[in-house]
Amino acid sequence: MTNLTLTADLKRYEAPSISQSDTTRIQRSGLVARDCFDMPITGADDIVIDAYNDYVFQFLGYGSNLRALFPVTDQYPDCALINAHAAVLHMAFEGLEGWQAAKPYLDAMRLARKGGVTEREGLFCDAVEAWYVRDFYSSLDFLNLLTVRWPADLCAIKWGQYHAFNLGDQEALLRFGQRAILAHKGTPYAHGLVAFGLEQNHRLDEAEEEGKYAVEVALDDAWAHHAVAHVLETKGRISEGIRWMKHCSHTWDQKGVFIRDHNWWHTALFYLGADEHEKVIEIYDERLWGAWPEFPQEQIGAVSLLWRLEMFGAKVGERWNPVVDQVRARAEEHILPFHDLHYVYALARAGNHQEADQFLDDLGEFAEKQTDRSAPTWQNVCVPLAHGVAAFARNQPEKTVNYIQPILGDIQYIGGSHAQRQVFIDTYEAARSSL
């Protein structure tokens, strides 16, 4: 169990208070300050501990003030762990500018590490180093080792789930969630982690039970809201899904852009399943596009929903234009296969064949250069799938089927959830039915 306690309204984390005299005593005695999970942070004082603990609550609860970590970190270049977390927050933006913003924190982390860190902190730093060079598999390995030995580190568990999700490793996703329960049973946000892992491993009844329990523990657990939404959609409980999201949505306005957008995206899928296209478009206009158009997750959410709307026969007007304008800036990044597949569809859908063809050529060249464990996914799954979705956008159903059919069993490796990847299956089925 941890000392993670929440106020009655579940909105403010109560960090352990450490007085200035306590800090002086800690520094003089050589003891290491500890966070809200009773885990040591080398080079920390009371200011760092308070900032880190607030970050923990913001991160696990998808709060809107994660950036508060940065100004504190800027004042503590000698604390390796807090600089490591600042770096990963930037890289989790999932665009090139995130890597650029992460570099100063990575440099500070490296220098601070030379002064000595705990073994747990060293493993997290190793994960960050691997992440920075886009070796996501190795980053996952380091986080796996760390959390096997220190399951109390709930932040490392969540970052582990993040990589497992992006790599299509559903088994690892669940293992990380199960570790969270080892040390944090009954505490806020831990049960939401295991709920999503269970759902992605088709253990739907258990996932629903864990997700609803999580919401009993923490009313604002947006990730648990999300896990239950997955269960209800998978089971085809559309009306119940709409009611569930209505019940939860009043908490999302206080959340960060990602989960706010993403949960409204899931809400839109329920209305799409109910053939309420006008409601879907209303959600798109009011909730899904425009909060942070430069954010890759907002871009792929918009692409995905417009794509589905058109497959369902809806008219989306000029809504593609601002999305495509943003996607063009991502054309040469090739950070995550799942993202690239949405980018290329948007470009092909825009009707500029030269632009989409250039993307496909660049993607192919990038894939061929990969030599780490990601190479098979880029080369054997992402590239043919990219050609398939581009063909679909160009109304070439035979090409779509020929590209996608051989890789249907491997699509999970591009990352994303079952619900997110369903658009590729629906695209294949729509193309096949039109032949």
Closest CA relative to residue 110, chosen from 98, 122, 93, 92? 122
Contact 37, 5 (CB under 8 A): no
Contact 214, 189 (CB under 8 A): yes
- pLDDT grade for 31, boundaries at 50, 70 and 90: low
Summarised one tens digit per residue, pLDDT across range 193-251 is 999 999 999 999 999 999 999 999 999 999 999 999 999 999 999 999 999 999 999 99
Contact 187, 158 (CB under 8 A): no
Residue 120 half-sphere exposure toward CB, CA atoms < 13 A:
18
Q: What's the predicted TM-score (pTM) here? A: 0.92
Report the pLDDT value the prediction gives residue 120, as an integer from 0 to 100.
97
CA–CA–CA angle 255, 314, 293 (5° rounding): 35
Report the pLDDT value the prediction gives residue 1, as an integer from 0 to 100.
28
The tokens describing 106, both together, are 């990575």
Report the pLDDT value the prediction gives residue 28, as an integer from 0 to 100.
34
Higher pLDDT, 17 or 168: 168
Is pLDDT above 60 for 8?
no
Report the pLDDT value the prediction gives residue 17, as an integer from 0 to 100.
33
Rounded Cα–Cα distance for residues 111 and 178 (Å): 34
Rounded Cα–Cα distance for residues 95 and 55 (Å): 22
Contact 388, 427 (CB under 8 A): yes
DSSP structure class, residue 75: T
Summarised one tens digit per residue, pLDDT across range 393-417 is 999 999 999 999 999 999 999 999 9
What is the sign, positive or negative, of the torsion defined by CA atoms of 296, 352, 354, 368?
A: positive
Show me where the domains of the chain are located. Answer: 1-235, 331-435
- pLDDT grade for 352, boundaries at 50, 70 and 90: confident
DSSP structure class, residue 118: -
**Phi/psi at 40 (5° precision):** -70, 145
Summarised one tens digit per residue, pLDDT across range 87-120 is 999 999 999 999 999 999 999 999 999 999 999 9
Summarised one tens digit per residue, pLDDT across range 376-388 is 999 999 999 999 9
Q: Mean pLDDT check: name the lowest of 16-25, 265-274, 341-350.
A: 16-25
Summarised one tens digit per residue, pLDDT across range 37-46 is 999 999 999 9
Question: Where does residue 276 rank: exposed (0-12), middle (13-18), buried (19+ CB within 10 A)?
Answer: middle
CATH of domain 1-235: 1.25.40.10
Query: Which DSSP helix (H) or strand (E) runs through 311?
Result: helix 296-311
Residues of the chain with pLDDT > 70, as a percent, come to: 93
Whole-Å CA distances, 42 to 145, 155, 269, 429: 20, 17, 45, 54
**Phi/psi at 6 (5° precision):** -120, 150
Three-state secondary-structure class, residue 165: helix
The set of residues, in sequence order, having a beta carbon less than 8 Å from that of 418 and lying 6+ positions away, is: 200, 230, 234
- Radius of gyration of the chain from Cα atoms? 22
Closest CA relative to residue 303, chosen from 225, 355, 95, 295? 295
Average pLDDT over every residue of 258-269: 98
